């Protein structure tokens, strides 16, 4: 029977959504081990999460450089030996840090995992932070900093966060050029000893995880305590000091276009309104068919793209709107953003538009958690965000059940343009 391509397939709502939970166990030294056994390919991903990031720094850049320097030399291996061995075994290493975590991620063929995890254990448990390699890494990052510092989007983003949080807050204080000169091996060793130990981390392993792989992890990371476990993580609290000025301009004379960043404080992920507010923000500016894209890109032609989203930080969220446009379009563009907020506050969303947003968000959820590694990302997100294990089921329920009436109430509650701070970086018109 020939396929009738003149008729679109029926759209079917998702009745149930759940993602495979990890097998949770605790290794002999107390480190939580989360095993996600999915897939038939002989590939494994290993994630070590260390509780210690930008929030815990005593000076800028400590968390980033401590994490980054793990691959630059250990008591047993030089930086070149680490690179050569990982390359030989076809492994890939990713080192990154966030506001409150350091991440060490290894992708490896399962058959070589005993070899690659041995290299990783040396990096994590006995790094040396050699001065020569550190000077090279710092210099590379300084050059990147200088390049980024000239970008209008970077200028606007940093200035908006400074306006919202203040210079005394970790989220409002960005590294300056001279902060790179204050990084040395000793300050990195101090940060490492404070946070990189078996009493302050957790492990995720995903893919085709065999009993042998689990044994290797336990042997290298879980049999006994490692690092200075007497150190306790410090929990600091910071209060934002928000500027009263609602419009900020940063001049860059040679800018071909301006960057516009608009933001205000919103609610945290733990707030009961959060999941349904996500639907409203998606409709407003979170996907290609959003109100902002339809008006400001498609109708007015002010920009190639504009987006809005909820940015989540510990205990607080930020509603952010971001775009770039020709300098002469900045003012009418900002006016249209505020206009769209007013419309959502005063008029109900149509059933057709709400259904379109629903289908987009549900489809995006399904696409996002198909593979073993994306499942690992999902559960790491749950842990690092301090969310409950039923977060994804609650998200599905909120998307399916939210009504037009609720969206209007949420817009009236959280879309207050009087609270928005607008930062423009570009050429003065």
Confidence band for 233, pLDDT divided at 50, 70 and 90: confident
Whether residue 272 has pLDDT greater than 80: yes
In what order do the strands lie in the sheet containing 92-97?
A: 23-26, 32-37, 201-207, 43-51, 101-109, 92-97
Whether residue 235 has pLDDT greater than 90: no
pLDDT digits (tens, 9 = 90+) for 339-385: 999 999 999 999 999 999 999 999 998 887 878 899 999 999 999 99
Buried b (16+ CB within 10 A) or exposed e, 269-291: beeebbbbbbbbbbbbbbeeebb
Give me the chain's average pLDDT, please.
94
pLDDT at res. 10: 65
pLDDT at res. 279: 98
- Report CA torsion sign: 394, 396, 401, 403: positive
pLDDT at res. 217: 98
Whether residue 1 has pLDDT greater than 60: no
pLDDT digits (tens, 9 = 90+) for 65-118: 999 999 999 999 999 999 999 999 999 999 999 999 999 999 999 999 999 999
Whether residue 321 has pLDDT greater than 80: yes
* Model confidence pTM above 0.85: yes
pLDDT digits (tens, 9 = 90+) for 17-68: 667 889 999 999 999 999 999 888 999 999 999 999 999 999 999 999 999 9
Residues 6+ apart with CB under 8 A from 253: 427, 428
Whether residue 232 has pLDDT greater than 60: yes
CA–CA gap between residue 317 and residue 256 (Å, rounded): 32
Whether residue 337 has pLDDT greater than 90: yes
pLDDT at res. 231: 79
pLDDT at res. 314: 85
Confidence band for 429, pLDDT divided at 50, 70 and 90: confident
Domains of the chain as residue ranges with CATH: 23-222 (3.30.830.10), 247-426 (3.30.830.10)
Percent of the chain with pLDDT over 70: 97
Report DSSP state, residue 327: G
Q: Using an 8 Å Cβ cutoff, are 173 and 164 in contact?
A: no
- Strand pairing partners for 250? 425
Whether residue 284 has pLDDT greater than 90: yes
pLDDT digits (tens, 9 = 90+) for 177-228: 999 999 999 999 999 999 999 999 999 999 999 999 999 999 999 999 999 9
Percent of the chain with pLDDT over 90: 88
């Amino acid at each position: 029977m020939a396929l009738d391509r003149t008729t679109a397939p029926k759209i079917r709502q998702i009745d149930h959504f759940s993602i495979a939970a990890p097998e949770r166990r605790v290794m002999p030294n107390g480190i939580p081990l989360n095993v996600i056994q999915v897939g038939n390919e002989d590939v494994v991903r290993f994630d070590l999460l260390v509780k210690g990031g930008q929030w815990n720094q005593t000076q800028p850049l400590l968390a980033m450089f401590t994490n980054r320097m793990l691959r630059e030399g250990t008591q047993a291996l030089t930086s070149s030996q680490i690179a050569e061995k990982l390359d030989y075994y076809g492994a890939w290493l990713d080192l990154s840090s966030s506001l409150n975590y350091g991440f060490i991620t290894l992708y490896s063929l399962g058959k070589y995992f005993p070899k690659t995890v041995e290299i990783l254990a040396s990096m994590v448990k006995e790094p040396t932070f050699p001065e020569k390699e550190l000077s090279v890494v710092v210099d590379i990052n300084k050059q990147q900093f200088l390049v980024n510092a000239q970008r209008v989007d970077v200028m606007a983003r940093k200035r908006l966060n400074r306006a919202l949080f203040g210079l005394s807050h970790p989220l409002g204080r960005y590294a300056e050029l001279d902060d790179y000169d204050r990084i040395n091996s000793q300050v990195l060793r101090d940060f490492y000893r404070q946070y990189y130990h078996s009493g302050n981390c957790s492990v995720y392993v995903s893919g085709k995880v065999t009993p042998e792989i689990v044994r290797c992890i336990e042997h290298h990371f879980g049999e006994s305590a490692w690092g200075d476990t007497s150190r306790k993580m410090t929990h600091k609290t910071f209060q934002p000091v928000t500027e009263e000025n609602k419009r900020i301009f940063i001049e860059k004379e040679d800018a071909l276009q301006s960057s516009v960043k608009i933001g205000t404080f919103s609610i945290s992920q733990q707030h009961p309104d959060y999941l349904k507010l996500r639907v409203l923000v998606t409709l407003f500016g979170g996907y290609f068919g959003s109100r902002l894209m339809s008006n400001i890109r498609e109708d007015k032609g002010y920009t190639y793209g504009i987006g809005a989203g909820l940015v989540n930080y510990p205990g607080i969220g930020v509603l952010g709107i971001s775009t770039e446009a020709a300098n002469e379009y900045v003012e009418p563009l900002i006016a249209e953003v505020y206009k769209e907020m007013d419309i959502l506050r005063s008029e109900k969303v149509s059933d057709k538009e709400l259904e379109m947003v629903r289908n987009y968000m549900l489809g995006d959820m399904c696409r996002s958690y198909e593979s073993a590694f994306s499942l690992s990302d999902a559960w790491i997100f749950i842990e690092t965000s301090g969310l409950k294990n039923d977060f994804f089921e609650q998200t599905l329920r909120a998307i399916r059940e939210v009504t037009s009436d609720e969206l209007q109430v949420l817009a009236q509650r959280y879309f207050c343009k009087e609270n928005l701070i607008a930062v423009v970086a570009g050429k003065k018109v």
